[in-house]
Structure 1
């Protein structure tokens, strides 16, 4: 790493260098928008060359996915604290969807993908394997006895995909006039929560 790079403040190691690039990427997305953020913008924001950024990320999409992932643990911790009272699968499904509808658009990392007019990237990613894994981790962190509720690991992954797809649908196509949270709870419990959990995940 050159001393004239990094705005004269060299990172101590590769982990710090990567973290600072991600911080620069987050600021660029906030400033320019998701679709208009270029790798050159991030390099300039971090005070490095494009070649330095390529040392850590092979593409803009990989870098933006890492920006979202960097905020995932903090988000999951806060969600787990907010929903610490949840004990049943139906409550977990319902409250996870509602919590995400309220919280995700304002998340400094994950919410970057959901800003008005910039949803195409996240729409494709929301049902990817990494997003489903995030959904599964949301459910696992809740104090629910999933085996007792009828969900093995495979079924929990399937449930996570359903939760992510349902949340995305409500996010992209909200009701007019909007439902209250209680009205949404009634709807989700009636039409989304499965009556018989599939223990084989199908």
Structure 2
């Protein structure tokens, strides 16, 4: 695969090229608050067509950048959820913890909050959002298969969680729920839906 430009410093291979593009995208986001293909290409000293050889569209670039940027959050989430082994408790705490971290994590906010540079730009069923949601579920210390969830139903659960998060982000309530109130609300209304699926799977 040919590589043009790169300000005279040609990457050793495609893996290095991809890593440089993602790093440049993060720099552009830090400066501009959004992803712009032209700015990323300019930062690297390459043309837009060269960038598109590695990322065919803006969504693909955003997905790679977002997932690399939120890895620290996902690691923290895994530690926080270590003691949650029941699907209902894990889903409730996963939603609540993610929602509460939004104001404190710039990249998580970029991924989750609806806007120009967001996992929700293409909707909660878009590839970026689903990939991110599956990454969250993979951090849970839950035996999903043993609880009756296969790949299809796990993806549906991700969609359900993301739709809930999206709703709470767009309209957090009046007044917004936090802490115990938020978790009580989610346990009352979200947990029963998850539990009903677990019971149906057992029978």
Q: TM-score, normalised by structure 1?
A: 0.81
Q: Whole-Å Cα distance in 2 between the matches of residues 139 and 62 of structure 1?
A: 21
Partner of 2:110: 112
Partner of 2:17: 17
After TM superposition, the structure 1 = structure 2 runs for residues 35-46 of structure 1, keeping only pairs within 5 Å, are 37-46=35-44
Partner of 2:138: 140
Q: Whole-Å Cα distance in 1 between the matches of residues 146 and 47 of structure 2?
A: 54
1:154 deviation in Å? 3.0
1:120 deviation in Å? 6.8
Contact residue 119 and residue 128 of structure 2 kept, 8 A? no
Larger deviation: 25-34 or 99-108?
99-108
Question: Would you say how many aligned residue pairs link Structure 1 and Structure 2?
Answer: 196
Secondary structure of the residue aligned to 1:85 is: coil
After TM superposition, the structure 1 = structure 2 runs for residues 59-70 of structure 1, keeping only pairs within 5 Å, are 59-70=57-68
Partner of 2:79: 81
Aligned residue among 175, 178, 181 for 1:177: 175
Aligned residue among 125, 128, 145 for 2:126: 128
1:84 deviation in Å? 0.7
Unaligned runs of 5+ in 2: none
Higher helix residue share:
2
**Aligned-residue CA RMSD (Å):** 2.7
Secondary structure of the residue aligned to 1:122 is: coil
Q: Whole-Å Cα distance in 2 between the matches of residues 172 and 56 of structure 1?
A: 33
